[in-house]
Structure 1
Amino acid sequence: MTSESSYRAPSSIPVGIDPTRASIARVYDAALGGKDNYEIDREVLRQVATKAPEVKDLAWSNRNFLTRAVRFLAQQGKITQFLDCGSGLPTAENTHKIAQRVNADTRVVYVDNDPVVIAHGRAILEDNPDTYFVAGDIFQPAQLLGNDLIRHYLDFTRPIALLQVGTLHHCTADNGADLMREYIEALPSGSFVAIAHFFDPEKAELSDLARKMEDLFVHSPMGSGMFRTERQILEFVDGLEIMPPGPGAQPKLELCDYWWPDGPKLTPLNQVERCIAGVVARKP
Protein backbone atom coordinates (compact mmCIF):
# COMPACT_ATOMS: atom_id res chain seq x y z
CA MET A 1 0.00 0.00 0.00
CA THR A 2 1.37 3.40 -0.92
CA SER A 3 2.11 5.94 1.78
CA GLU A 4 0.46 8.85 -0.04
CA SER A 5 -2.51 9.06 -2.41
CA SER A 6 -3.62 11.79 -4.77
CA TYR A 7 -7.22 11.35 -5.86
CA ARG A 8 -9.15 14.47 -6.76
CA ALA A 9 -12.42 15.30 -5.02
CA PRO A 10 -13.94 18.68 -4.16
CA SER A 11 -14.98 17.28 -0.79
CA SER A 12 -11.32 16.91 0.20
CA ILE A 13 -11.55 20.54 1.32
CA PRO A 14 -13.98 20.57 4.28
CA VAL A 15 -16.88 23.00 3.91
CA GLY A 16 -17.95 23.09 7.54
CA ILE A 17 -20.49 25.80 8.37
CA ASP A 18 -19.60 28.07 5.43
CA PRO A 19 -23.04 29.02 4.00
CA THR A 20 -21.48 30.27 0.75
CA ARG A 21 -20.22 26.81 -0.26
CA ALA A 22 -22.40 23.79 -0.98
CA SER A 23 -21.62 20.71 1.08
CA ILE A 24 -22.10 17.18 -0.27
CA ALA A 25 -23.45 16.11 3.12
CA ARG A 26 -25.88 19.03 3.30
CA VAL A 27 -27.08 18.59 -0.30
CA TYR A 28 -27.78 14.94 0.49
CA ASP A 29 -29.59 15.99 3.68
CA ALA A 30 -31.72 18.44 1.68
CA ALA A 31 -32.63 15.75 -0.86
CA LEU A 32 -33.83 13.50 1.97
CA GLY A 33 -35.96 16.28 3.41
CA GLY A 34 -33.64 17.08 6.33
CA LYS A 35 -33.21 20.44 8.03
CA ASP A 36 -29.40 20.62 8.32
CA ASN A 37 -28.80 22.46 5.05
CA TYR A 38 -28.48 25.96 3.62
CA GLU A 39 -29.93 27.80 0.63
CA ILE A 40 -26.73 27.13 -1.34
CA ASP A 41 -27.27 23.38 -0.88
CA ARG A 42 -30.90 23.51 -1.98
CA GLU A 43 -29.80 25.55 -5.01
CA VAL A 44 -27.75 22.57 -6.23
CA LEU A 45 -30.89 20.43 -6.30
CA ARG A 46 -32.91 23.14 -8.01
CA GLN A 47 -30.30 23.44 -10.75
CA VAL A 48 -30.27 19.71 -11.44
CA ALA A 49 -34.08 19.58 -11.24
CA THR A 50 -34.27 21.79 -14.33
CA LYS A 51 -33.25 18.70 -16.34
CA ALA A 52 -34.24 15.96 -13.87
CA PRO A 53 -37.27 16.93 -11.73
CA GLU A 54 -36.98 13.71 -9.70
CA VAL A 55 -33.34 14.41 -8.72
CA LYS A 56 -34.10 13.84 -5.01
CA ASP A 57 -34.86 10.20 -5.84
CA LEU A 58 -31.12 9.65 -6.33
CA ALA A 59 -30.67 10.22 -2.60
CA TRP A 60 -33.59 7.98 -1.64
CA SER A 61 -32.46 5.14 -3.90
CA ASN A 62 -28.98 5.46 -2.38
CA ARG A 63 -30.30 5.49 1.20
CA ASN A 64 -32.63 2.53 0.69
CA PHE A 65 -29.84 0.51 -0.93
CA LEU A 66 -27.65 1.22 2.10
CA THR A 67 -30.35 -0.11 4.42
CA ARG A 68 -30.77 -3.38 2.55
CA ALA A 69 -27.05 -3.88 1.90
CA VAL A 70 -26.10 -3.39 5.56
CA ARG A 71 -28.86 -5.75 6.67
CA PHE A 72 -27.55 -8.37 4.23
CA LEU A 73 -23.97 -7.93 5.40
CA ALA A 74 -24.95 -8.24 9.05
CA GLN A 75 -27.38 -11.14 8.64
CA GLN A 76 -26.00 -13.22 5.78
CA GLY A 77 -22.40 -12.05 5.73
CA LYS A 78 -22.09 -12.27 9.54
CA ILE A 79 -20.10 -9.04 9.47
CA THR A 80 -19.63 -7.38 12.85
CA GLN A 81 -17.27 -4.57 11.74
CA PHE A 82 -18.22 -1.73 9.39
CA LEU A 83 -16.13 1.10 7.96
CA ASP A 84 -18.63 3.61 6.58
CA CYS A 85 -16.84 6.10 4.33
CA GLY A 86 -18.29 9.56 3.80
CA SER A 87 -21.11 8.93 6.24
CA GLY A 88 -22.78 12.33 5.85
CA LEU A 89 -25.14 13.93 8.34
CA PRO A 90 -26.93 11.49 10.67
CA THR A 91 -30.38 10.39 9.54
CA ALA A 92 -33.10 8.10 10.92
CA GLU A 93 -31.63 4.84 9.59
CA ASN A 94 -27.86 4.86 9.87
CA THR A 95 -25.48 1.94 9.45
CA HIS A 96 -25.03 1.30 13.17
CA LYS A 97 -28.78 1.12 13.84
CA ILE A 98 -29.34 -1.40 11.07
CA ALA A 99 -26.34 -3.58 11.89
CA GLN A 100 -26.71 -3.46 15.67
CA ARG A 101 -30.32 -4.62 15.43
CA VAL A 102 -28.91 -7.83 13.97
CA ASN A 103 -25.96 -8.08 16.39
CA ALA A 104 -25.75 -5.65 19.28
CA ASP A 105 -21.96 -6.12 19.47
CA THR A 106 -21.36 -4.85 15.95
CA ARG A 107 -18.74 -2.11 15.77
CA VAL A 108 -19.20 0.75 13.29
CA VAL A 109 -16.68 3.43 12.39
CA TYR A 110 -17.95 6.40 10.41
CA VAL A 111 -15.47 8.55 8.48
CA ASP A 112 -16.03 12.09 7.24
CA ASN A 113 -13.94 15.22 6.98
CA ASP A 114 -16.74 17.76 7.40
CA PRO A 115 -16.52 19.21 10.94
CA VAL A 116 -20.30 19.73 11.08
CA VAL A 117 -20.93 16.07 10.23
CA ILE A 118 -18.41 14.94 12.83
CA ALA A 119 -19.90 17.19 15.54
CA HIS A 120 -23.44 16.00 14.83
CA GLY A 121 -22.39 12.37 14.72
CA ARG A 122 -20.35 12.40 17.89
CA ALA A 123 -23.14 14.15 19.80
CA ILE A 124 -25.73 11.59 18.69
CA LEU A 125 -23.47 8.58 19.29
CA GLU A 126 -22.05 9.69 22.62
CA ASP A 127 -23.85 6.91 24.49
CA ASN A 128 -23.12 4.16 21.93
CA PRO A 129 -19.89 2.39 22.98
CA ASP A 130 -19.50 0.49 19.69
CA THR A 131 -19.95 3.35 17.23
CA TYR A 132 -17.33 5.98 16.46
CA PHE A 133 -16.79 9.01 14.22
CA VAL A 134 -13.29 9.53 12.80
CA ALA A 135 -12.17 12.67 10.98
CA GLY A 136 -10.53 11.79 7.68
CA ASP A 137 -10.55 12.23 3.90
CA ILE A 138 -11.97 9.08 2.30
CA PHE A 139 -10.15 9.94 -0.93
CA GLN A 140 -6.80 9.48 0.82
CA PRO A 141 -6.99 5.73 1.56
CA ALA A 142 -3.36 5.33 2.62
CA GLN A 143 -3.75 7.99 5.31
CA LEU A 144 -7.14 6.68 6.38
CA LEU A 145 -6.08 3.05 6.63
CA GLY A 146 -3.10 4.10 8.72
CA ASN A 147 -5.26 6.15 11.06
CA ASP A 148 -4.55 5.11 14.67
CA LEU A 149 -8.21 5.41 15.72
CA ILE A 150 -9.47 3.24 12.87
CA ARG A 151 -6.80 0.64 13.60
CA HIS A 152 -7.76 0.76 17.27
CA TYR A 153 -11.50 0.38 16.73
CA LEU A 154 -11.41 -2.18 13.90
CA ASP A 155 -9.61 -5.51 13.89
CA PHE A 156 -8.02 -5.91 10.44
CA THR A 157 -7.43 -9.61 11.06
CA ARG A 158 -11.20 -10.23 10.85
CA PRO A 159 -13.65 -9.47 8.01
CA ILE A 160 -14.77 -5.87 7.62
CA ALA A 161 -17.53 -4.33 5.50
CA LEU A 162 -16.29 -1.28 3.61
CA LEU A 163 -19.14 1.02 2.60
CA GLN A 164 -18.70 3.49 -0.25
CA VAL A 165 -22.38 4.30 -0.66
CA GLY A 166 -22.92 7.54 -2.55
CA THR A 167 -19.26 8.59 -2.31
CA LEU A 168 -17.21 7.46 -5.30
CA HIS A 169 -19.14 9.57 -7.80
CA HIS A 170 -17.61 12.56 -5.99
CA CYS A 171 -14.13 11.32 -6.88
CA THR A 172 -13.52 13.27 -10.08
CA ALA A 173 -10.29 11.53 -11.03
CA ASP A 174 -10.15 8.73 -13.59
CA ASN A 175 -8.15 6.58 -11.19
CA GLY A 176 -10.99 5.78 -8.80
CA ALA A 177 -10.33 2.08 -9.37
CA ASP A 178 -6.78 2.59 -8.07
CA LEU A 179 -8.23 4.29 -4.99
CA MET A 180 -10.47 1.30 -4.29
CA ARG A 181 -7.60 -1.10 -4.90
CA GLU A 182 -5.74 0.51 -1.99
CA TYR A 183 -8.73 -0.09 0.27
CA ILE A 184 -9.32 -3.64 -0.90
CA GLU A 185 -5.67 -4.65 -0.49
CA ALA A 186 -5.91 -3.69 3.19
CA LEU A 187 -9.07 -5.72 3.85
CA PRO A 188 -8.76 -9.26 5.21
CA SER A 189 -10.21 -12.26 3.38
CA GLY A 190 -13.97 -12.59 3.87
CA SER A 191 -14.50 -8.83 3.88
CA PHE A 192 -17.19 -7.14 1.79
CA VAL A 193 -17.38 -3.94 -0.23
CA ALA A 194 -20.71 -2.18 -0.89
CA ILE A 195 -20.93 0.61 -3.47
CA ALA A 196 -23.77 2.80 -4.72
CA HIS A 197 -22.89 5.10 -7.60
CA PHE A 198 -24.47 7.52 -10.08
CA PHE A 199 -24.96 5.39 -13.20
CA ASP A 200 -24.84 5.93 -16.96
CA PRO A 201 -26.91 3.01 -18.35
CA GLU A 202 -25.54 3.63 -21.87
CA LYS A 203 -29.04 3.69 -23.33
CA ALA A 204 -29.81 6.68 -25.52
CA GLU A 205 -32.42 8.56 -23.49
CA LEU A 206 -31.10 7.55 -20.07
CA SER A 207 -27.48 8.21 -20.97
CA ASP A 208 -28.44 11.67 -22.19
CA LEU A 209 -30.18 12.36 -18.87
CA ALA A 210 -27.19 11.03 -16.89
CA ARG A 211 -24.78 13.32 -18.75
CA LYS A 212 -27.06 16.33 -18.27
CA MET A 213 -27.25 15.64 -14.51
CA GLU A 214 -23.49 15.13 -14.35
CA ASP A 215 -22.86 18.45 -16.08
CA LEU A 216 -25.19 20.27 -13.71
CA PHE A 217 -23.75 18.61 -10.59
CA VAL A 218 -20.13 19.22 -11.62
CA HIS A 219 -20.78 22.87 -12.48
CA SER A 220 -22.99 23.50 -9.46
CA PRO A 221 -21.75 24.96 -6.14
CA MET A 222 -21.17 21.33 -5.04
CA GLY A 223 -18.67 20.72 -7.86
CA SER A 224 -18.93 16.96 -8.28
CA GLY A 225 -21.20 14.08 -9.29
CA MET A 226 -19.86 11.75 -12.00
CA PHE A 227 -22.11 9.22 -13.75
CA ARG A 228 -20.03 6.17 -14.58
CA THR A 229 -20.85 3.20 -16.81
CA GLU A 230 -21.27 -0.40 -15.65
CA ARG A 231 -17.73 -1.25 -16.74
CA GLN A 232 -16.30 1.73 -14.86
CA ILE A 233 -18.19 0.97 -11.65
CA LEU A 234 -17.30 -2.73 -11.70
CA GLU A 235 -13.62 -1.75 -11.95
CA PHE A 236 -13.99 -0.62 -8.33
CA VAL A 237 -14.53 -4.25 -7.24
CA ASP A 238 -12.15 -5.95 -9.65
CA GLY A 239 -11.06 -9.34 -8.34
CA LEU A 240 -13.88 -9.61 -5.82
CA GLU A 241 -16.79 -12.07 -5.79
CA ILE A 242 -19.89 -10.09 -6.76
CA MET A 243 -23.06 -11.02 -4.91
CA PRO A 244 -26.25 -11.78 -6.88
CA PRO A 245 -28.63 -8.79 -6.65
CA GLY A 246 -31.76 -10.89 -6.28
CA PRO A 247 -33.24 -14.44 -6.15
CA GLY A 248 -31.92 -16.50 -9.07
CA ALA A 249 -30.04 -13.53 -10.51
CA GLN A 250 -26.53 -13.72 -11.89
CA PRO A 251 -23.89 -11.70 -9.97
CA LYS A 252 -23.85 -8.19 -11.44
CA LEU A 253 -24.22 -4.48 -10.92
CA GLU A 254 -27.90 -3.65 -10.40
CA LEU A 255 -30.05 -0.56 -10.11
CA CYS A 256 -30.17 0.40 -6.43
CA ASP A 257 -33.95 0.00 -6.26
CA TYR A 258 -33.74 -3.51 -7.71
CA TRP A 259 -30.94 -4.79 -5.44
CA TRP A 260 -32.79 -7.26 -3.19
CA PRO A 261 -35.91 -5.07 -2.83
CA ASP A 262 -38.11 -5.58 0.22
CA GLY A 263 -41.11 -6.39 -1.95
CA PRO A 264 -42.54 -6.20 -5.46
CA LYS A 265 -42.45 -2.89 -7.31
CA LEU A 266 -46.01 -1.72 -7.92
CA THR A 267 -44.92 1.28 -10.00
CA PRO A 268 -42.15 1.46 -12.63
CA LEU A 269 -38.94 3.27 -11.79
CA ASN A 270 -38.62 6.79 -13.13
CA GLN A 271 -35.68 7.77 -15.31
CA VAL A 272 -33.66 9.23 -12.42
CA GLU A 273 -34.03 6.03 -10.38
CA ARG A 274 -32.57 4.18 -13.37
CA CYS A 275 -29.43 6.29 -13.10
CA ILE A 276 -28.06 5.01 -9.78
CA ALA A 277 -26.74 1.48 -9.31
CA GLY A 278 -25.27 -0.65 -6.55
CA VAL A 279 -23.04 -3.66 -6.06
CA VAL A 280 -21.94 -5.75 -3.10
CA ALA A 281 -18.83 -7.92 -3.44
CA ARG A 282 -16.79 -10.23 -1.21
CA LYS A 283 -13.02 -10.52 -0.99
CA PRO A 284 -12.00 -14.20 -1.38
Structure 2
Amino acid sequence: MPDSNPQVADAADIRARIDTTKPHSARFWNYFVGGKDNYEVDREIGDQIKEIFPGLVDVAVASRAFLGRAVTHLAGEVGIRQFLDIGTGLPTADNTHQVAQRVAPDARIVYVDNDPIVLAHANALLTSTPEGRTAYLDADLYDPDSVLEAAKGTLDFSQPVALIILNTLGHVADYERARGLVNRLMAGLPSGSHLVISDSTATSEGMIAASEAYNSSGAVPYYVRSVDEIAGFFDGLELVEPGVVQVTAWRAEEGDSVNSKVAVDAYGAVGRKA
Protein backbone atom coordinates (compact mmCIF):
# COMPACT_ATOMS: atom_id res chain seq x y z
CA MET A 1 0.00 0.00 0.00
CA PRO A 2 1.21 3.57 -0.58
CA ASP A 3 2.36 5.62 2.36
CA SER A 4 -0.04 8.15 3.78
CA ASN A 5 1.54 11.47 3.00
CA PRO A 6 0.32 14.68 4.64
CA GLN A 7 2.89 16.70 2.71
CA VAL A 8 0.90 16.41 -0.52
CA ALA A 9 -1.09 19.65 -0.80
CA ASP A 10 -4.87 19.46 -0.61
CA ALA A 11 -6.94 19.65 -3.78
CA ALA A 12 -8.18 23.21 -3.23
CA ASP A 13 -4.66 24.52 -2.67
CA ILE A 14 -3.43 22.71 -5.78
CA ARG A 15 -6.17 24.19 -7.97
CA ALA A 16 -5.41 27.68 -6.67
CA ARG A 17 -1.75 27.31 -7.65
CA ILE A 18 -2.30 26.08 -11.22
CA ASP A 19 -1.87 28.69 -13.96
CA THR A 20 -3.21 27.57 -17.33
CA THR A 21 -2.44 30.89 -19.07
CA LYS A 22 1.29 30.19 -19.50
CA PRO A 23 3.18 27.20 -20.89
CA HIS A 24 4.34 24.78 -18.25
CA SER A 25 7.42 22.56 -18.44
CA ALA A 26 5.81 19.37 -17.13
CA ARG A 27 2.75 19.74 -19.40
CA PHE A 28 4.97 20.74 -22.34
CA TRP A 29 7.10 17.61 -21.87
CA ASN A 30 3.96 15.54 -21.40
CA TYR A 31 2.73 16.74 -24.81
CA PHE A 32 6.02 15.82 -26.43
CA VAL A 33 5.93 12.23 -25.14
CA GLY A 34 2.33 11.75 -26.27
CA GLY A 35 0.54 12.37 -22.98
CA LYS A 36 -2.87 13.97 -22.52
CA ASP A 37 -2.22 16.10 -19.43
CA ASN A 38 -1.59 19.41 -21.20
CA TYR A 39 -3.44 22.53 -22.30
CA GLU A 40 -3.73 24.48 -25.52
CA VAL A 41 -1.08 26.95 -24.40
CA ASP A 42 1.38 24.06 -23.95
CA ARG A 43 0.53 22.56 -27.33
CA GLU A 44 0.91 25.92 -29.04
CA ILE A 45 4.46 26.51 -27.81
CA GLY A 46 5.18 22.83 -28.38
CA ASP A 47 4.14 23.08 -32.02
CA GLN A 48 6.15 26.28 -32.46
CA ILE A 49 9.25 24.59 -31.09
CA LYS A 50 8.69 21.54 -33.27
CA GLU A 51 8.93 23.87 -36.26
CA ILE A 52 12.14 25.41 -34.93
CA PHE A 53 13.68 22.13 -33.80
CA PRO A 54 11.79 18.88 -34.47
CA GLY A 55 14.57 16.99 -32.71
CA LEU A 56 13.27 18.05 -29.31
CA VAL A 57 10.57 15.39 -29.60
CA ASP A 58 13.34 12.80 -29.94
CA VAL A 59 14.98 14.24 -26.82
CA ALA A 60 11.76 13.82 -24.82
CA VAL A 61 11.18 10.25 -25.94
CA ALA A 62 14.83 9.23 -25.61
CA SER A 63 15.11 10.71 -22.11
CA ARG A 64 12.14 8.64 -20.98
CA ALA A 65 13.70 5.51 -22.43
CA PHE A 66 16.99 6.32 -20.66
CA LEU A 67 15.12 6.45 -17.35
CA GLY A 68 13.72 2.99 -17.98
CA ARG A 69 17.10 1.47 -18.83
CA ALA A 70 18.85 3.14 -15.89
CA VAL A 71 16.24 2.03 -13.35
CA THR A 72 16.18 -1.49 -14.81
CA HIS A 73 19.97 -1.69 -14.52
CA LEU A 74 20.00 -0.42 -10.95
CA ALA A 75 17.17 -2.63 -9.73
CA GLY A 76 18.19 -5.71 -11.70
CA GLU A 77 21.98 -5.75 -12.01
CA VAL A 78 23.03 -3.64 -9.04
CA GLY A 79 20.31 -4.69 -6.62
CA ILE A 80 19.15 -1.19 -5.60
CA ARG A 81 15.80 -1.34 -3.86
CA GLN A 82 15.28 2.35 -3.04
CA PHE A 83 14.72 5.24 -5.45
CA LEU A 84 14.43 8.99 -4.77
CA ASP A 85 13.05 10.68 -7.89
CA ILE A 86 13.25 14.50 -7.73
CA GLY A 87 11.45 16.66 -10.28
CA THR A 88 9.15 13.82 -11.16
CA GLY A 89 7.04 15.49 -13.82
CA LEU A 90 3.66 14.29 -14.99
CA PRO A 91 3.03 10.54 -14.99
CA THR A 92 3.11 8.77 -18.32
CA ALA A 93 3.98 5.17 -19.09
CA ASP A 94 6.79 3.40 -17.26
CA ASN A 95 7.22 5.73 -14.31
CA THR A 96 10.10 4.98 -11.93
CA HIS A 97 8.01 2.89 -9.53
CA GLN A 98 6.54 0.82 -12.35
CA VAL A 99 9.94 0.03 -13.86
CA ALA A 100 11.62 -0.66 -10.51
CA GLN A 101 8.83 -2.82 -9.09
CA ARG A 102 8.54 -4.78 -12.31
CA VAL A 103 12.11 -5.89 -11.68
CA ALA A 104 11.99 -5.90 -7.87
CA PRO A 105 8.47 -5.94 -6.39
CA ASP A 106 9.84 -4.94 -2.97
CA ALA A 107 11.36 -1.68 -4.28
CA ARG A 108 10.57 1.55 -2.46
CA ILE A 109 10.15 4.80 -4.38
CA VAL A 110 9.78 8.39 -3.20
CA TYR A 111 8.72 10.99 -5.75
CA VAL A 112 9.50 14.64 -5.02
CA ASP A 113 8.02 17.71 -6.68
CA ASN A 114 6.56 21.03 -5.61
CA ASP A 115 4.73 21.79 -8.81
CA PRO A 116 0.94 22.11 -8.48
CA ILE A 117 0.30 20.48 -11.87
CA VAL A 118 2.32 17.46 -10.85
CA LEU A 119 0.80 17.36 -7.37
CA ALA A 120 -2.66 17.28 -8.92
CA HIS A 121 -1.67 13.95 -10.46
CA ALA A 122 -0.01 12.56 -7.33
CA ASN A 123 -2.71 9.98 -6.82
CA ALA A 124 -1.83 8.44 -10.16
CA LEU A 125 1.69 7.90 -8.85
CA LEU A 126 0.71 6.69 -5.40
CA THR A 127 0.47 3.04 -6.36
CA SER A 128 2.65 0.17 -5.35
CA THR A 129 3.05 -3.56 -5.32
CA PRO A 130 2.01 -5.12 -1.99
CA GLU A 131 5.66 -5.88 -1.25
CA GLY A 132 6.98 -2.38 -2.03
CA ARG A 133 6.10 1.19 -1.10
CA THR A 134 5.56 4.39 -3.05
CA ALA A 135 5.28 7.86 -1.56
CA TYR A 136 4.97 11.37 -2.91
CA LEU A 137 6.45 14.49 -1.28
CA ASP A 138 5.48 18.10 -1.85
CA ALA A 139 9.05 19.35 -1.43
CA ASP A 140 11.60 21.56 -3.17
CA LEU A 141 14.91 20.71 -4.84
CA TYR A 142 16.22 24.01 -3.44
CA ASP A 143 15.83 22.65 0.09
CA PRO A 144 17.79 19.37 -0.10
CA ASP A 145 17.98 18.88 3.66
CA SER A 146 14.18 18.90 3.92
CA VAL A 147 13.90 16.53 0.97
CA LEU A 148 16.27 14.04 2.58
CA GLU A 149 14.60 14.27 5.98
CA ALA A 150 11.12 13.75 4.53
CA ALA A 151 12.28 10.83 2.36
CA LYS A 152 13.42 8.99 5.49
CA GLY A 153 9.76 8.33 6.21
CA THR A 154 9.80 5.75 3.42
CA LEU A 155 13.46 5.00 2.62
CA ASP A 156 16.08 3.38 4.84
CA PHE A 157 19.17 5.57 4.61
CA SER A 158 21.38 2.84 6.01
CA GLN A 159 20.97 1.12 2.63
CA PRO A 160 21.88 2.42 -0.87
CA VAL A 161 19.48 4.77 -2.63
CA ALA A 162 19.30 5.73 -6.32
CA LEU A 163 18.87 9.50 -6.66
CA ILE A 164 17.17 10.37 -9.97
CA ILE A 165 17.08 13.94 -11.33
CA LEU A 166 15.97 13.99 -14.96
CA ASN A 167 15.40 17.11 -17.08
CA THR A 168 15.15 19.21 -13.93
CA LEU A 169 18.54 20.77 -13.20
CA GLY A 170 18.22 22.93 -16.31
CA HIS A 171 15.68 24.97 -14.35
CA VAL A 172 18.43 26.01 -11.92
CA ALA A 173 19.93 29.03 -13.66
CA ASP A 174 23.26 29.08 -11.82
CA TYR A 175 25.38 26.03 -12.64
CA GLU A 176 27.40 26.09 -9.42
CA ARG A 177 24.21 26.25 -7.42
CA ALA A 178 22.87 23.25 -9.34
CA ARG A 179 26.06 21.31 -8.58
CA GLY A 180 25.82 22.29 -4.93
CA LEU A 181 22.27 20.95 -4.69
CA VAL A 182 23.30 17.63 -6.22
CA ASN A 183 26.33 17.39 -3.94
CA ARG A 184 24.24 18.06 -0.83
CA LEU A 185 21.71 15.39 -1.77
CA MET A 186 24.41 12.80 -2.50
CA ALA A 187 26.22 13.69 0.74
CA GLY A 188 23.13 12.60 2.64
CA LEU A 189 23.00 9.18 1.00
CA PRO A 190 25.05 6.13 2.08
CA SER A 191 27.91 4.40 0.29
CA GLY A 192 26.71 2.36 -2.66
CA SER A 193 24.08 4.91 -3.60
CA HIS A 194 23.81 5.96 -7.25
CA LEU A 195 23.10 9.21 -9.08
CA VAL A 196 21.10 9.27 -12.33
CA ILE A 197 20.99 12.55 -14.27
CA SER A 198 20.05 13.55 -17.79
CA ASP A 199 19.41 16.99 -19.23
CA SER A 200 19.12 18.70 -22.57
CA THR A 201 22.41 20.06 -23.85
CA ALA A 202 23.60 23.03 -25.90
CA THR A 203 25.05 20.71 -28.53
CA SER A 204 23.28 22.05 -31.61
CA GLU A 205 22.05 25.38 -32.92
CA GLY A 206 18.56 23.89 -33.08
CA MET A 207 18.46 23.00 -29.40
CA ILE A 208 19.82 26.41 -28.41
CA ALA A 209 17.14 28.10 -30.53
CA ALA A 210 14.44 25.88 -29.07
CA SER A 211 15.58 26.73 -25.54
CA GLU A 212 15.50 30.44 -26.30
CA ALA A 213 11.99 30.17 -27.77
CA TYR A 214 10.74 28.25 -24.76
CA ASN A 215 12.31 30.67 -22.30
CA SER A 216 10.66 33.63 -24.04
CA SER A 217 7.21 32.01 -23.80
CA GLY A 218 6.60 32.99 -20.19
CA ALA A 219 7.27 29.51 -18.82
CA VAL A 220 9.80 28.88 -16.06
CA PRO A 221 13.13 29.03 -17.97
CA TYR A 222 15.17 25.95 -18.78
CA TYR A 223 18.87 26.44 -19.49
CA VAL A 224 20.66 23.96 -21.73
CA ARG A 225 24.24 23.20 -20.66
CA SER A 226 27.44 21.81 -22.13
CA VAL A 227 28.34 18.15 -21.97
CA ASP A 228 31.24 19.02 -19.65
CA GLU A 229 28.79 20.68 -17.27
CA ILE A 230 26.58 17.57 -17.24
CA ALA A 231 29.70 15.53 -16.48
CA GLY A 232 30.53 17.88 -13.61
CA PHE A 233 27.49 16.70 -11.67
CA PHE A 234 29.26 13.34 -11.31
CA ASP A 235 32.56 14.62 -9.91
CA GLY A 236 33.64 12.39 -7.05
CA LEU A 237 31.49 9.46 -8.18
CA GLU A 238 32.42 6.29 -10.04
CA LEU A 239 30.83 6.50 -13.48
CA VAL A 240 28.97 3.41 -14.61
CA GLU A 241 29.90 2.38 -18.16
CA PRO A 242 29.57 3.90 -20.73
CA GLY A 243 29.93 7.13 -18.75
CA VAL A 244 28.45 10.47 -19.82
CA VAL A 245 26.92 9.91 -23.24
CA GLN A 246 23.92 10.83 -25.34
CA VAL A 247 20.92 9.27 -23.63
CA THR A 248 20.19 7.11 -26.67
CA ALA A 249 23.62 5.48 -26.30
CA TRP A 250 23.46 4.64 -22.59
CA ARG A 251 23.31 0.82 -22.49
CA ALA A 252 21.07 0.70 -25.53
CA GLU A 253 20.21 -2.75 -26.81
CA GLU A 254 19.16 -4.12 -30.18
CA GLY A 255 15.42 -3.76 -30.56
CA ASP A 256 15.06 -0.77 -28.20
CA SER A 257 12.24 1.56 -29.16
CA VAL A 258 14.70 4.44 -29.44
CA ASN A 259 17.53 3.94 -31.92
CA SER A 260 20.91 4.23 -30.22
CA LYS A 261 22.33 5.71 -33.41
CA VAL A 262 19.95 8.68 -33.33
CA ALA A 263 21.85 11.79 -32.22
CA VAL A 264 19.98 13.75 -29.57
CA ASP A 265 20.83 16.91 -27.66
CA ALA A 266 20.53 15.24 -24.27
CA TYR A 267 23.28 13.61 -22.23
CA GLY A 268 23.06 11.48 -19.15
CA ALA A 269 24.96 9.12 -16.92
CA VAL A 270 24.81 6.96 -13.83
CA GLY A 271 27.42 7.30 -11.09
CA ARG A 272 28.12 5.33 -7.90
CA LYS A 273 29.08 6.76 -4.53
CA ALA A 274 32.02 4.82 -3.06
| 2:138 corresponds to which of 120, 127, 135 | 135
Whichever residue aligns with residue 94 of structure 1, its letter is N
1:258 aligns with one of 249, 252, 255 = 249
Instruction: Report the counterpart of residue 51 of structure 2 in structure 1.
Output: 50
Correspondence 1:173-192 to 2 at 5 A: 173-175=174-176, 176-192=178-194
Describe how 1:67-146 pairs up with structure 2 within 5 A.
67-126=68-127, 128=129, 130-146=133-149
- CA deviations 1:23-52 (Å, max 9, x no partner) are 221111111111110111112322322320
Stretch deviating more after TM superposition (259-268 or 40-49):
259-268
Pair 1:276–1:127, CA change in 2 (3 A): closer
Residue correspondences, number: 256
The CA deviation at 1:174 is 2.4
- Residue range with higher mean Cα deviation, 125-134 or 20-29: 125-134
* TM norm structure 1: 0.83
Q: Deviation of residue 194 (structure 1)? A: 0.4
Q: Does 1:226 align with 2:223?
A: yes
Q: Could you list the runs of 5+ residues in structure 2 that have no partner in the other structure? A: 1-14
Give aligned-pair identity as a percent: 37
Please give the root-mean-square deviation of Cα atoms over the aligned residues, in Å.
Answer: 2.2
User: Which residue of the partner structure matches residue 265 of structure 2?
Assistant: 275
| TM-score of the two chains, using structure 2 as the length reference | 0.86
Q: Extract unaligned runs of 5+ from structure 1.
A: 1-13, 246-251
Deviation per CA, 1:214-238: give whole Å up to 9, x if none. Answer: 2122222323222211211111111
- Hey, what does 2:232 align to over in structure 1? 235
Q: Is the 8 A contact 1:165 1:196 kept in 2?
A: yes
- Inter-partner Cα distance in structure 2 for 1:89 and 1:197: 17
Aligned partners of 1:196 and 1:278 also within 8 Å: yes
1:122 deviates by 2.0
